[in-house]
Amino acid sequence: MPKQKTHKGIKKRFRLTASGKVKHRSAGTSHRQTRLTQKRRRNLRGTSVLSAVETPKIKKALGQYSY
């Protein structure tokens, strides 16, 4: 059986922590931020942790699980 390839789009958008959680950039941070309040802009800075429900899908696409 051949190896599973890493999904390159997911590799660029998500990162794994040492404990196995998945970090990602918040949506809505690229452009058109004049419509957002200052508070919303501040809270969108940096990265956030993905929910535990979505984590297995991302790990599988990154090739972290071996089936």
On whether residue 38 sits in a domain, the answer given is: yes
On whether residue 50 sits in a domain, the answer given is: yes
Does residue 67 carry a pLDDT above 70? Answer: no
Q: CA-CA distance, 43 to 2, in Å (whole number)?
A: 43
Does residue 6 carry a pLDDT above 90? Answer: yes
Q: Which residue would you say has higher pLDDT here, 67 or 61?
A: 61
Does residue 37 carry a pLDDT above 60? Answer: yes
On whether residue 58 sits in a domain, the answer given is: yes
How large a percentage of the chain has pLDDT more than 70? 97
Q: CA-CA distance, 58 to 32, in Å (whole number)?
A: 28
On whether residue 40 sits in a domain, the answer given is: yes
Does residue 32 carry a pLDDT above 80? Answer: yes
Domain harbouring 22, CATH code: 4.10.410.60
Could you give the number of structural domains in the chain? 1
Q: CA-CA distance, 31 to 27, in Å (whole number)?
A: 10
Domain span at 34: 8-62
The whole-angstrom distance between residue 64's C-alpha and the CA centroid of its chain comes to 15
* pLDDT, mean of residues 26-46: 93
On whether residue 67 sits in a domain, the answer given is: no
Q: What is the mean pLDDT of the chain?
A: 92
